[in-house]
Structures are given as C-alpha cells and as structure tokens.
A and B are shown apart, each in its own frame.
Chain A
Amino acid sequence: MSQGVRERESSLIWVQGLACGALVAVATPLALMLAVLLAPTAAAAMFDRQPGQPSVRAVLLCGISACVHPLRRLWEGEHTIAASLGILGEPHVIALAWTAAAGGWILAELAPLGLSLALEAASRARAVRLRARRERLLEEWPGLKGGG
C-alpha cells in the first residue's frame, strides 16, 4: 500500500472518530441505541479481513434496516437516555436487529457459494455442447487431428 493511500485512510479514520464523538456528545441516546443495535457490525469488522470488508457491509446494511424503526420511535418520543434504554429493553428490538445482522453475514457467505455453483454448472453445460459438436466434426472428418 502506497504512502498516500495510507495517509488518506488514516485521515478517514480520524474523520469517522470525530463524527462518532460528535454524535455521542450531541445525541447520546441515539448513539447509545446505535451502539447496541449495531454491535454485531463491530464484531464482524473485527473478524472480516477481506479487502473492502464485504461481510461487514452486508451485516451493517442489514443491521441498519432493522434499526430504522427503533430510531424512529426514539426520535418521535422523548429523546433521552431512559427512552433509549426503554426501547432497547424490549427483547424483540435487539433480537430483530441482531438477527438481521446475522442474516447479512449469512448472505455474505452464501451468495458467493451459490453463484460459484451456478457458474460451474453453466460452464459444464457449455463444455458438453462443445464436446458433442467436436465429436460430430471428427466423425465427419476422420482425418482431422484435434488437440482435445
């Protein structure tokens, strides 16, 4: 990795840190809720060492989709730490958010596998068609010398 890229990433981390700090300072209940509901994303970020962290992206996006409803309730209700803890205290809120995150992770793991199987099947079908054509060709032209 070049020196310039490293410097840009380091700056981005600093910006993200500042944004998070600002969020904690300005909207502590919101930050608390996000911290709890998106905890699986942080865990996924610790284990995903792939370039671009594709599993983290899927877990984050799925987790966010499950956070929208609790955040709306918090925004429309009292914007306090107690309200935030109250919502978080409802078992189905955390369960739904973490299940969505788990679904994202499973999706990130299974989608490549499924696609791989599909591509392999398509390749084999094409190879079968090509070989059949080749056999017909050799039968019609016995003197041909094929490499396969």
Chain B
Amino acid sequence: MPAFAVADRQTGRSDLMAVQVDRRLAPRAWALQALTEPVEGILSPLAHGQAPDQAGNGAYYIVAPAPPGPALDARPRTWSESELLDHVLRPAARTLDRLASLALTHRAIRPNNVFQAAPGQPVVLGMAWAAPPALHQPAIFEPPYVAMCLPAARGDGSIADDVYALGVLLVTLALGRSPLAGLDDEAVVRRKLDQGCFTALVGTGRLPAVIADIARGMLADDPEHRPHPALLAEPSAARARRVAARPSRRAPRPLHFAGRQAWNARALAHALASAPDAGLQALRSGVVDDWLRRHLGDVGLATRIDEVMRPRSGDAPQETQFGEAFQAMTAVALIDPLAPLCWRGLALWPDGVGPALAAADVPATERLTEIVTTEAIGSWASLHADRCDATTLRSEARQNRAWFGLRGPAGGIERLLYALNPLLPCASPLLGRSWVARLLELLPALERTAATADPATTRPIDRHVIAFVAARSERRLDLEIAALARTGENAAEAELRLFAALQVRLHPAPLPALAKWLTTRSDELLAGWHSRARRESATARLKELAEAGQLAPIVKLLQDAAERIADQREAQAATAELARLDTELAALANDVPERAILARRWGQELAAGIGLLGVVAALLAAALGLD
C-alpha cells in the first residue's frame, strides 16, 4: 500500500507516515474507532481522513507513527533463542494481549510488517488498519482455514489467529529463512492440512527447544488450542502448557478425486470445498461414504453425511434451487468443523462478507449474493453453534438478506456494500474523483459535481448514492428514501426532499449549483400543479430559491397545501367546463340531420304563413273595395 512521510503541523512531529487506502478495500472501521489511545508495541493509528492524492483525486489516509527501524525481512538471519523470547515473543505477546482486551485483532503479523529500531530492541508490529483484516497476509502466516478464504473475506478472526502468525514469525526467524518457500498458496494450505501446521512449517528444520515447544502450541490447528497472548508473555508458562490435541486420523489409502488426494478428513473437506462439482459427484456416488467407512473408519461421520445427501421432500423452493450448494457446504462443515463457510468454490468467514463484496469480481459477487439471499451464513452458524455466536450470525444473515431484498434503489448489492463496510467510499460515478465515505461529505461533493454536470442528461442521484445514504443515515431518512422507491412518485421531488433533509441535518451551507441541478426539471417538479399561471409563478420562484442554495424552502414551496388545494379545486372546475364544452361541440356536430328537418318544417310553415297573409290581404282589399 502506498505510504508517505508526513508531519504534524500543530505539534511539529515529523516521525509519522500516512498510508493511502485502496478505494475498493475499506479500512477497518471498528479498529480505528477502538484505538483511541496508542498501544505500545504497535503502529497505532493517530488520525484518519481524506485528502487529495498527488493527482488531485480524493483519497483516504491513515496516519500512524513511522516504523522505528527496518522490517525484520530487511536483513534475513537466524535469530537466537534469547532474542526471539526477549525481543519478539514477549513484546509482541504483550501488544496482542492489549489488543485482545480491546476486542481487536492485528491480522498483519509477517516479517515485512514487524519492525525493530535497532538490534536488542523490542519489535514493533506494523500498520494493520488500512485494509480488510489479513488481506495482505501470505498463506504461510495464516492458519489454513483462513488462507483458503478470499483475501478480503478472512474476517477479523480472533486473537488466536494473531498468535498463529506470531508463531510462524518465530519459526521464520529461528530458521533464518521463510518456510515453505516456493510453494503457492494452495500448496501451502494442502501441506498444512495434510501434515499439520507445525510439521509442515518446520519440516526437518532445527529449532531451539524452547521455541519449538512454544511454536508447537501457537501453531495448533484448532484456534482454541493455541495459548493466549497473556500466557505467551511468560514463555516458561507457555512452554509448560500442554494441550491434548488429537491429531487428524490418517487413512491407510487416500481418496482420489478431481486430481487431488485426501489422506484425512481435513484434506477431504478442503478438496470438497475447492472442487465443489467433483466433490458433490463423489458425495452422491457414495465414494466419499465408502472411504469414510472403510478407510478412515469414521462410521458416525459417514452416517451424518449420508443424511445430508439424502433428498428431502419438504425442501423449500429456494433451498432446492441452491440445494446442491447447501449440501456441499453442510458436508464440508460436518467433515471439518474448523473449516470456514465454503460455498460453490468460495471460502469465507462470516464477518468477511462485506469486504469481500467490495473487492469481489463479478463471479464472486454472484456467489456472495447467493450466500446472502439464502442466509447460508445462518445455516453454517447452526452447524458451528459451539464455535460461534450462532444467534447473532443468524440475525445478521437475516438482516443482510432484508437489506439485499429491499425494493427499489435503497436495496440490492449496493445497500449491502455500504451497510457492511462503514468506511467504504461511495462508488457513484456522479462523485467523480471525490472520496465520500461519510454522509456529511456527500453534499459538498455533489455541489462540486453540479458545477460541471449537464443537468439535461444526468441526475444528481443514482443507485449508489441512494444506497449510500440509506446505509449511512441509519433509518433517519427512511421516509425520504422510501419515496424514491415508490413507483408513480414524483421522482424529482423525492430527490429534492432527500437532499433537503440531508442539507438541514448535515450541511446547512448554501448549495446553489446542486439546487439548480435539482430544479432543472421544474416541469417534473411542478407536475402536480395544474394551472399554467401558477406553474409559471412557481417556476420563477424556484429559480430564485435555487440561486439562494437552500433546498428546504424549495420543498416548502412545492408542498404549499393551500395553493395546492386551490389549484386542485380550480382544476376540477375547469375539467367540468371542458366536459360541457366538448358535449356541446359534439351535439353541434351530430345535430345536422335534425337541423335540416327543422329547417324544412319551419320553411314549409313559413311558406304557408306567407300564403295566408296574401289571402288576408286580398280579402281586406276586397272588403275595403280596393281594386
């Protein structure tokens, strides 16, 4: 990760560094929040926030003390037992103990992230907060059940995972070289599962007896068997601690499928997780069942697997659609209870879903979405009730599914992204080069965008912005967001109401460019107004208010109840008059034959009347003796 030397302008302190955060890999929000005081023996975060990068783009940095010296891998050598105990194990264990008391983990203990100011000085653990937990950890330094996961989906884990990494560091320093060098991550995981971690890492290498005893416990396959950091701070006590861990039973003959060999149940589970299609075929064909019964001799496990693979008539449609994935996930969980959640070739720890979604490519996103929609984490947790808080995980799985299933732009994958990654910046293209990770940063960024955006072709809101606001506002803007999702709602007015609420609560400064952008479609905003005169008057007022940059008065203008009622009443009267006019016009158009008949009748009567007048005139003339 890019890091820069920085200085504190207020105190003048210059032994600081700023680590730049990757846009798709959010920093560890909980750790940054919890580490309010520096912890001895670690590069604790001192501050974090956004600042422009060298290209002027928005970026996010975490400021911490600069490393006191070179990293341990800068000068590879074999460390003595006393050096390892006094300068590595004890100080690191005390630091991990302090982290454990804060319910934190480090998850980045490796030779290039552990520093020593000078020979004879205690080591200092490096920065571990600028990326998801264990993201940059090589497979060697992580337990196999963590190393097999997507790098971003390794989760916070437990302090036992840090103890494991510290154990690998001890072995590396004691050997003077990196163990399992030259093997790829997959091979490292397989080697550890086949032989056990300590044997796989140390092999034929020679370790000081004390270090070997302590490292054996620290590298235990089961996290619960590893010593607590507080115990490691007293190496003699840690060495005396013996855990009766039963080694994984090894079959006399391996199980072959998909080009893999499995000698024990753990290797079988890993093979099933890595090659799910072939694994499912092996499970269905009875090959696995036969191997478990005849060669591994675990009839109980074979019976449980058989029950899982037997189709059930009462399966819900959703379960049927992903039934095979559920079967494979359950089989892996039964065969190796230490394994992470394995879903169609993808492995993850439940708290790694959020970072994994942010970093995932399209196929991985599809599978992660399946995990969310099927609440697979809840089902997995039920199978591991003795090793995790199953109730909490089930509840979180339901919540994630509810967020994903929300109708409209406030739901979907975007909502999950921002809900599960509290410091992930909004990925909306509208925000351009800005880094918007907190809600109060949204409106200033949109104001900058508004200055250059074309209002006719773009709107100041999209799915990312809505999901971001919904996730960060914590239900305080639910009404405004729900209005955006409703079909038939005036979209422009709903957008305006949302931004107005944001401005009132978070950013009272004027936003003239954004206001102008939002009111560009005044026709749509005034769609509920019927009178042209009222519309023209309101449009002019909208322009005035937009120039002032305050959105709430614009909303007030649009929602003026008295004006709206008067407009509605007059519109109804106009509608009635229009109907009357149309009726009259239709009658005029249709009455032509009737008018012709009337004209003929009246014309004939008129002719008769004139004739009668003639008779009367003639009779009068005759009576009066006129010739």
A and B: partners? yes
B578 to chain A minimum Cβ distance, whole angstroms, is 5
The contact string, 1 if C-beta is below 8 Å from chain A, for chain B 589-627, is 101100110111111111110111011011101100001
Least CB separation from A62: chain B residue: B611
Instruction: Enumerate chain A residues within 8 angstroms of B592, measured Cβ to Cβ.
Output: 120
* Residues of B contacting A115 in the complex (Cβ-Cβ under 8 angstroms): 598-600, 602-603, 606
Distance between Cα atoms of A133 and B580 in the complex (Å): 11
Q: Which of B535, B615, B627 counts the most chain A CB atoms within 10 A?
A: B615
Question: A100 and B614 in contact (CB under 8 A), knowing A54-B607, A139-B532?
Answer: yes
Given A131-B585, A148-B586, also A58-B578 (CB < 8 A): no
Contact among A107, A110, A140, A142 with B611 in the assembled complex (CB-CB below 8 Å) = A107
Closest residue to A122 on the B side, CB-wise? B595
The yes or no answer to A26 lying at the interface (CB within 8 A) is no
Q: Enumerate chain A residues within 8 angstroms of B605, measured Cβ to Cβ.
A: 54
| A113, A116, A146, most chain B CB atoms within 10 A | A116
Contact between B530 and A60, CB atoms less than 8 A apart: no
Residues from chain A with a CB closer than 8 A to the CB of B578 are 134, 137-138, 141, 144, 146
Of B532, B574, B599, B610, the contact of A107 (CB 8 Å cutoff): B610
Residue count of chain B within 8 Å CB distance of chain A: 44
CA distance A115 to B602 in the complex (A): 7
A3 to B582, CA, bound (A): 46
The answer to whether A123 and B591 have CB atoms under 8 Å apart is yes
Contact assessment for A72 and B574 in the assembled complex, using a CB-CB cutoff below 8 Å: no
* In contact, B615 and A61 (Cβ under 8 angstroms): yes
Chain B, residues 544-581, CB within 8 Å of chain A (1/0): the string is 00000000000000000000000000010011011101
Of the listed residues B588, B607, B614, the one surrounded by the most CB atoms of chain A closer than 10 A to its CB is B607
Interface residue A147 (Cβ < 8 Å from any Cβ of B):
yes
A58-B607, A141-B571 in contact; A119/B622 too (CB < 8 A)? no
A81 contacts the other chain (Cβ, under 8 Å)? no
Cβ of B40 within 8 Å of any chain A Cβ, yes or no, is: no
Q: Tell which of A72, A107, A137 touches B581, judged by Cβ atoms closer than 8 Å.
A: A137
Query: Is the C-beta of A39 less than 8 angstroms from some C-beta in chain B?
Result: no
Candidates A58, A69, A123; contact of B588 at CB < 8 Å: A123
Question: Is B615 a contact partner of A116 (Cβ separation < 8 A)?
Answer: no
Q: Is the CB of B531 closer than 8 A to any CB of chain A?
A: yes
Residue-by-residue, is A117-128 near B (CB-CB < 8 Å gives 1, otherwise 0)? 011100100110
For A127, give the chain B residue with the smallest CB separation. B588
A5 interface residue (CB < 8 Å to B): no
Q: Across chains A and B, which 4 residue pairs bring their CB atoms closest together, nearest first?
A: A61-B611, A112-B603, A65-B614, A111-B603
Interface membership of B316, Cβ < 8 A:
no
* Contact A61 B582, CB 8 Å, known A115-B606, A119-B599: no
Closest to B616 in A: A65
- By the criterion CB–CB under 8 Å, are B608 and A57 in contact? yes
Residues of A within 8 Å of B584, CB to CB, are 126, 130
Given A69-B618, A119-B599, A123-B588: A58 in contact with B582 (beta carbons within 8 A): no
Whether A104 sits at the interface, judged by CB under 8 Å, is yes
Given contacts A66-B618, A68-B619, contact A111 B606 (CB under 8 A): yes
Q: Output the least CB separation between A124 and chain B (Å).
A: 8
Q: Collect the chain A residues with CB atoms within 8 Å of residue B615's CB.
A: 61, 64-65, 68
Q: Is B533 an interface position by the 8 A CB rule?
A: yes
From B535, B604, B614, B621, contact of A54 by CB (8 A): B604
Shortest Cβ distance from A106 into B: residue: B607
Among B574, B591, B614: residue with most chain A CB under 10 A: B614
Contact A112 B582 (CB under 8 A): no
Judge whether A112 and B600 touch: CB under 8 Å. yes
A104 vs B608: C-alpha distance when bound (angstroms):
8
Complex Cα distance, B627 from A2, in Å, reads: 48
**B579 cross-chain contacts in A, Cβ below 8 A:** 147
Q: Are A62 and B614 in contact (CB under 8 A)?
A: yes
Cβ–Cβ < 8 Å partners of B574 in chain A: 137, 140-141, 144
Q: Please, how many angstroms separate the alpha-carbon atoms of A98 and B382 in the complex? A: 119
Q: Does any Cβ of B come within 8 Å of A89's Cβ?
A: no
Taking CB as reference atom, which chain A residue is nearest B608?
A57
In the complex, residue of chain A having the shortest beta-carbon distance to the beta carbon of B535: A142
Contacts A141-B571, A141-B574 given; indicate if A116 touches B600 (C-beta within 8 A).
Answer: yes
Enumerate chain B residues within 8 angstroms of A77, measured Cβ to Cβ.
none
- The minimal Cβ–Cβ distance linking B597 to chain A, given in whole angstroms, is 9
Contacts of B575 in A (CB 8 A): 141, 144
A114 contacts the other chain (Cβ, under 8 Å)?
A: yes
Known: A65-B611, A123-B591. 8 other contacts (CB 8 A): A54-B605, A104-B607, A111-B602, A111-B606, A115-B599, A140-B531, A142-B535, A148-B585
Q: B579: shortest Cβ distance to chain A, in Å? A: 8
Assess the A72–B611 pair: CB atoms within 8 A: no
> What's the nearest-Cβ distance from chain A to residue B587, in Å?
10
User: Out of B530, B585, B599, which one reaches A116, CB within 8 Å?
Assistant: B599
Complex: how many Å from CA A66 to CA B596? Answer: 32
Contact (Cβ within 8 A) A127 B585: yes
Bound together, the chains give a CA A144 to CA B577 distance in angstroms of: 11
- Indicate if the CB atoms of B607 and A111 lie closer than 8 Å: yes
What 0/1 readout, one digit per residue, does chain A (20-51) give for beta carbons within 8 Å of chain B? 00000000000000000000000000000000
Contact between B588 and A126, CB atoms less than 8 A apart: yes
| B-side contacts of A60, CB under 8 Å | 611
A63 CA to B269 CA in the complex, in Å?
A: 125
| Minimal beta-carbon separation of B625 from chain A (angstroms) | 9
Q: Using Cβ atoms and an 8 Å threshold, which residues of chain A touch B598? A: 115, 119
Nearest CB in chain B: distance from A115 CB, A: 4
* Shortest CB distance A131–B (Å): 7
Q: In the complex the two chains form, is A143's CB within 8 Å of B571's CB?
A: yes
What are 30 contact pairs spanning A and B, CB under 8 A? Answer: A54-B608, A57-B604, A64-B611, A64-B615, A64-B618, A65-B611, A65-B614, A65-B615, A69-B618, A107-B607, A107-B610, A108-B604, A111-B602, A112-B600, A112-B601, A116-B596, A116-B599, A119-B595, A127-B585, A127-B589, A130-B585, A131-B585, A137-B574, A140-B531, A140-B533, A142-B530, A142-B532, A143-B571, A144-B571, A147-B582
Q: Which of B535, B582, B604, B617 contacts A111 (CB 8 A)?
A: B604
Chain A residue, CB-CB nearest to B529: A143
A119-B598, A123-B588, A131-B585 known; A114 and B611 CB under 8 Å?
no
A130 pairs with B581, CB closer than 8 A: yes
Contact present for A141 and B611 (CB under 8 Å): no
Contact in complex: A104, B611 (CB < 8 Å): yes
- The CA-CA distance from A118 to B595 in the complex, in Å, is 10
Distance to closest chain A CB from B179 (angstroms)? 78
Who on chain B is nearest to A142 by CB? Answer: B532
- Distance, CA A54 to CA B627, complexed state (A): 30
Asked, given contacts A57-B608, A65-B615, whether A120 binds B603 with beta carbons under 8 Å apart, the answer is no
A53 to B515, CA, bound (A): 81
B611 touches A57 (CB 8 A): yes
Kindly name the residue among B575, B603, B606, B621 whose own CB sees the greatest number of chain A CB atoms within 10 A: B603
Distance in Å: Cβ of A86 to nearest Cβ of chain B? 17
